[in-house]
Amino acid sequence: MGAALALVGVSPAHAAGPAYVALGDSYSAGNGAGNYDSASGDCHRSFSAYPYLWKNAHAPSSFADTACSGAVTSDVLNNQLGPLNSSTGLVTLTIGGNDAGFSDVMTTCVTGSDSDCVNRVNTAENFVRNTLPGRLDAVYNAIHAKAPSAHVVVLGYPDMYTLNTFCIGLSATKHAKIDEAADVLDTTTAARAAAHGFSFGDVRSTFKGHELCSGDAYLHSLVISPSWESYHPTATGHSNGYLPVLNAND
């Protein structure tokens, strides 16, 4: 096989996909997807998350996954960029939700009143509009500096709820406000990604009709144990929600 490749001028390295590095938070690590890599510890990286699904389908020449549950922008800068280098061809990430207090927003909206939820989301949205852009710029600049030849795909976050349908649990007011927060986060992230020449993968389209309250959700609702799976994509959410968007932008 090697001789045949040499005869036609194609090496195994050229036949492989680009060197791929996955970065980011729990939506990239795969919280909620099951099939966890025990070696990843509290990062809860899943072999069923979109980075591994892409790797298995495209056979990159090398693969590194440093995404970690709970990561904020400073964690990416300080702990996740080690695998990047001049030969890196593809970088993916989701980041920003934890900077904006995603977990606290959901806790407040689950346990508090409608006004508590609205006020907490408003605070998060103000942060996303005013403070998060600079933090995203710092991450994107660092990625480009370490991997100047890489194609970078910044993936967004899905809307959490299907609206205007009967659903036991949180109120319609809370559902709408939580989705509004996701939209503000995605809009802000998309703008900063574009400013750096990166692709933005909008997963709201692939999750459309598969949010919570849809009857066919790609997301977990409140999970008692392990609680960190709550409000994260399922394995199907990664295979049918995230992976197609990455494939369209890789």
As annotated, the active-site residues are 26, 232
Do residues 48 and 235 make contact, with C-beta atoms less than 8 angstroms apart? yes
| Amino acid at position 146, single letter | K
d(CA 75, CA 68): 9
| Amino acid at position 185, single letter | L
Helical pair 114-130 and 102-111, crossing angle rounded to 10 deg: 170
d(CA 172, CA 176): 6
For residue 193, give the H/E element and its range. helix 172-195
